[in-house]
Chain A
Amino acid sequence: MSWAAHDLEPYAIQRHLAGRVAILPLLLGSYAPDLASKWFVYGIDVFGIDLRADDPVQFHRGWPGLGFTHSLTFGLVVAGLILLLTRSKVWALSFAIGQWAHALTDVGDTVGTMLFFPFSTTFVHLDAWAYAGHTDRFTDAGAYFSGLGWVWDGVWVVYGLIAWRVLTRSYFREVIVPADGVWRWLGRRLPEDVLLAIYRASFFYGSTRWVAWLIWAHVLHDFEFDLSWGGPHWVDAEHPPD
């Protein structure tokens, strides 16, 4: 579980692969594993009825459950469908890379991901930071921004700031637009300033929420920092289901 890395990693990948990938499918791939599951992990209230997974970890990362969305195969299968539907190798490749980045990043927590599903249901996990998605969104935020998870996200924030040229108008014109016809199509309908804001939106969202959650957790509230491996240990971390 990562709170900002999935927003930020695609920009780093884009910087290294430049015109060989497109940012929109990269971002889509990076968000894809959690799109259908995250809301049900934390639960939502619909007209007074609390909709929430009975076993959030099993649902989010396991099988049976939606854990297959965090496997490498899932990225390849969806990329294959994209290729079939759009005939765009760049879109297919970019989606696969984005989804792989997500699946590999989530290996960092104490639950990990079934990376090799359907060939294996073994969870690959590094246990660097506590998975606390089963608590509630705010306890999870407090825990995540007190452990090594926020450090990992911080690496991408800092990397993005160092590689700030990726976010400039000239980079957008010279690298991003030529790599993907969608931008030219959008450019006929929307002003360039709007396209730029769309292009930068995920970086903006990831980096600002990283700062805001950090302040929320440690200035407004007093969640205790614990940067030890697997921390914070004050939260009841989840582990792979049996």
Chain B
Amino acid sequence: MKELLLYAVAAAVYVTLGVFIPEFLITWPVGAGFLLLVVCGLPALVRRLD
């Protein structure tokens, strides 16, 4: 459930950013990098800070 929530948050934020800054939607590496950052990078950072 936590995993699904992370992906849903990533999707919602990416869509919102993309609507207002469409350059964000243009290349695959940006999209994939954003996903990795939100679903892997941020949880790892939070774990480290804990």
A-B pairs under 8 A by CB, number: 67
Residue count of chain A within 8 Å CB distance of chain B: 26
- A208 contacts which of B3, B18, B40 (Cβ < 8 Å)? B18
A215, B15: Cβ atoms under 8 Å?
A: yes
A197, B40: Cβ atoms under 8 Å?
A: yes
Residue count of chain B within 8 Å CB distance of chain A: 20
B25, A212: Cβ atoms under 8 Å?
A: yes
Given known contacts A197-B36, A197-B39, A212 and B22 CB-to-CB distance under 8 angstroms: yes
Q: Which of A165-187 contact B (CB under 8 A)?
A: 169
Interchain CA distance A32-B22 in the complex, whole Å: 23
Whether a CB of chain B sits under 8 angstroms from the CB of A50 is: no
Interchain CA distance A208-B26 in the complex, whole Å: 12
Q: A193-B40, A194-B40 are in contact. List 12 more A-B contacts (CB 8 A).
A: A7-B28, A194-B36, A198-B32, A201-B31, A202-B32, A204-B7, A205-B31, A208-B11, A209-B31, A212-B15, A212-B22, A213-B25
Given known contacts A197-B39, A197-B40, A205 and B22 CB-to-CB distance under 8 angstroms: no
Contacts of B35 in A (CB 8 A): 197, 200-201, 204-205
